[in-house]
Amino acid sequence: MKKSQKPSVNRRNFFKSAAGAAALAGATPAAKAQQTNAQQTQAQNGRNTGATPAPTPEQLARDAGNVRPPATARAVTRPGSDLMVEAFRNLGLAYVAAQAGSTFEGIQESVINCPPTPNKMPEFITALHEESAVAMAHGYAKAEGKPMLALLHGTIGLQHASMAIYNAYYDRAPIVMIAGNDRGDIPSHTALDMAGMVRSFTKWDAQPKTLDEALAAIHRAYNEAVTPPQAPTLIVMDSELQKMNAPGFKLPPYKPPVFPTIDPSKAKEIAKALVDAQNPRIAVGRLRTPQGSMLSVQLAELVGASTSTTAANGPMSFPQRHPLQGPGADTNYDYVLGLEARGLQASIIGPDLPSIVAQRDPQGIGFGGLENANANGGRGRVPANSAPPTTADAEASLPMIIDEVKRLMTADKGRLVADRTAKHAAANQESHIKAVKLAVENMRGGWNGSPISTARVYAELWPLIMNEDWCLSSPTAFSGGHNVRIWDHNKPYSCLGGQGAGGMGYGAPASVGAALAAKDHGRIVVNIQCDGDLNYAPGVLWTAAHHKLPLLNIMHNNRAWHQEFMYVTFMAGVRGRGTDRAWIGSTLRDPYIDYTKMAAGYGMAGEGPVSDPTLLAAALKRGVDSVKRNEPYMIDVVTQPR
């Protein structure tokens, strides 16, 4: 990490004088001659007399319209921020989200005006809160498997964004952030070590002192963000670097990141075990990108392994309804490989957040106790008898294993694989149908109740989207998680999962980010939106409307922060003070909030409140039709508490 040094001259005065000198230095000979003549004439006519000088011939000619205005030359012909935008483009950073701020106007101007115009790469996405900007990038990263940019305004923007950064850090979401820094402006908006405020929950930061360093930092920030453990990175970018003239600068060569892989001998060992196994299984967790999901499918199909998946709870895993996904025909597995998950005989798990805590948290703040995080790197309970993980990126390691499996595969083994695959497929299909039947049987409970059951919301929506390309962008735990049981999560982005650190205010902005990822693919995004969560920064609805994003918002409007409502109810009861005041501070009543009107205020169409269950399906249909036209939509559904 590099830190800026205090400038040795007053930068504002420096730029003023530099601009004047540059203007003269860059002037054409004709302009110089004009200026010299005017100065001489003024000196002759007005010297120490105090009288108004007579007009010069040039002034007379100009008044008569007989001359052209003097040629001018701009002090800045190629701002440093144009080079930064070139770097963004080369890295494939498609979007930059920001709440307007005067410490990054150099970059903003370049994003919107750097040729060719109108500039769409990256496209500027207008946020109404820095937390929303980063949460958008969080949702985008999980849907697309790559970062987008967030611009933050000095110390104040960074602090506004900090909750979203914290969520993204815990969720291992790659985001590149740039915080503008203008040390000649408002003192409270700058700091000697601005990144220090978020250092213990970002992966890497820098404060470059020169444009060369700044451009290199952009490359490094991207690489650090996308390599495991994936996480947000931050550059504190001084405004002088954004605005300086840099006609002779070139982008430094970009070196793509190196992902840690298992060594070739380990790849051979795993491949041989998979090929020789009678009943192999692959446990697939969350891989880095859609490519990882595809590679896991390829490996499973090559060896006819049954698989498990996390696709119903988060992105980038194995397709849930793939014929090989499920317990399979025989649950006596003789070799279990874990990919970003624990396996019984082998586990490949990338470096996780605890591996960077010592470097990033020297003060020992210890957010979330990450330094003591469990051995599974935040991936849940470690299965009994599981193999110690090999620390490597599973996605980057898969091609080696696949190549080796192909080399070892024989015709005889191929026939065994085909036979095993067919048996697994039949068993998994049977198992799935049985599970769905059980789920829908349970969903009958409260089907006709009002307020509307959360199960009915998920059930009525599923037939409307099952033949579309869809993404469920919101966390679902507070609305019953009924998607897990009846929806098919077959794409790397089908379900984007939870908030990361459990910070509220995530659902709506992350969904906008997911919709950014979706809009160029003809995909629709469904956000089952908790009411308490939306009220943190509802202005993000305007962002969805402004940018015409395919986002369907369905309110889980139970008019409470319901988990807390239940906790307080329990507490009041066991303390013997009565539960009749437990609603205070944890419910949203008197008055109820009208989310359709809220959305309308931000320019988003919608309807509701819907509390009659017989009206729900038609409302959802109108919503799906709307977002298919890239017109975001809000349906305020008054729901049962859970």
Partner 1 sequence: MLGLLFSSASLHAQQGRGYTGPLPNNPPPTSPVTGDAAKGKSLFFNYSCYACHGYNGETGARIFVGNWGHLSTEQEFITFLRGRATIAPEPKSTGMPNFAENTMSDKQAKDIYAYIRSFKSNAPPLKDIPTLNAIVDAASKPSK
Closest approach of partner 1 to the CB of residue 456, in Å: 8
CA distances (Å), origin 401, targets 264, 272, 291, 339, 460: 8, 9, 15, 12, 42
* Helix (H), strand (E) at residue 432: helix 411-443
8 A C-beta contact, residue 516 and residue 135: no
Task: Tell me the sheet residues that pair with 391.
Answer: 349
Q: What is the DSSP letter of 387?
A: P
Rounded to the nearest whole angstrom, what is the least distance from the CB of residue 523 to partner 1 in the complex? 13
| Residue with token string 């990361």 | 500
Asked whether the CA dihedral 318, 323, 329, 333 is positive or negative, the reply is negative
C-alpha dihedral over 562, 564, 568, 570, to 10 degrees?
Answer: 70
What is the per-residue burial (b if ≥16 Cβ within 10 Å, else e) of 548-557? ebbbbbbbbb
Rounded to whole angstroms, how far apart are CA atoms 237 and 234? 9
Pairing of strands 232-238, 306-308: unpaired
Q: Return the beta strands (E) in 360-407 as ranges.
A: 389-391
Question: How near is the Cβ of 464 to partner 1 at its closest, in Å?
Answer: 10
Q: Which is nearer to partner 1, 113 or 563 (CB)?
A: 563
Shortest approach of partner 1 to residue 309 CB, angstroms?
13
d(CA 600, CA 417): 56
- Between 453 and 527, CB nearer to partner 1: 453
- Provide the 8-state DSSP code for 251: P
Q: Which is nearer to partner 1, 182 or 460 (CB)?
A: 460
525 contacts 548 by C-beta, under 8 angstroms? no
Closest contact distance (angstroms) between CB of 270 and partner 1 is 29
Please, which residue, 51 or 584, has the CB nearer to partner 1? 584
Least Å distance between CB 146 and partner 1? Answer: 24
Give the contacts of 359 (CB within 8 A, at least 6 positions apart). none
Whichever of 186 and 466 has its CB closer to partner 1, that residue is 466
Q: Which residues contact 437 (CB under 8 A, 6 or more apart)?
A: none
CA atoms within 13 A on the CB side of 472: 28
Q: How far is the CB of 577 from partner 1 (least distance, A)?
A: 6
Q: How near is the Cβ of 266 to partner 1 at its closest, in Å?
A: 34
Q: How far is the CB of 379 from partner 1 (least distance, A)?
A: 17
Q: Which helix (H) or strand (E) holds 627?
A: helix 616-628
Q: What is the DSSP letter of 639?
A: B
Q: Toward partner 1, which CB reaches closer, 5 or 467?
A: 467
Q: Which is nearer to partner 1, 217 or 624 (CB)?
A: 624
Question: 412 or 441: whose CB is closer to partner 1?
Answer: 441
Give the tokens for residue 360.
Answer: 């990033």
Q: Which is nearer to partner 1, 378 or 641 (CB)?
A: 641
Q: Toward partner 1, which CB reaches closer, 367 or 583?
A: 583
The CA R_g of the chain, rounded to the nearest whole Å, is 30
The dihedrals phi and psi of 260, each to the nearest 5 degrees, come to -70, 130
> Least CB distance from residue 323 to partner 1, whole Å?
8
- Whose Cβ is closer to partner 1: residue 3's or residue 621's? 621
Which residues in this chain contact partner 1 in the complex, by CB under 8 A?
A: 320-321, 432-433, 435-451, 453-455, 459-460, 462-463, 466-467, 476-482, 484-486, 488, 490, 560, 562-563, 565-567, 569-580, 582-583, 617, 640-642
Least Cβ distance, residue 208 to partner 1 (angstroms): 44
The label of the residue with tokens 């006519």 reads 45
Nearer to partner 1, 102 or 490 (CB): 490
Tokens standing for residue 617: 């399906």
DSSP state, 104?
A: S
Burial per residue of 471-493, b for 16 or more beta-carbon CB atoms within 10 angstroms, e otherwise: bbbbbbebbbbbbbbbbbbebbb
Nearest distance from residue 607's CB to partner 1, in Å? 19
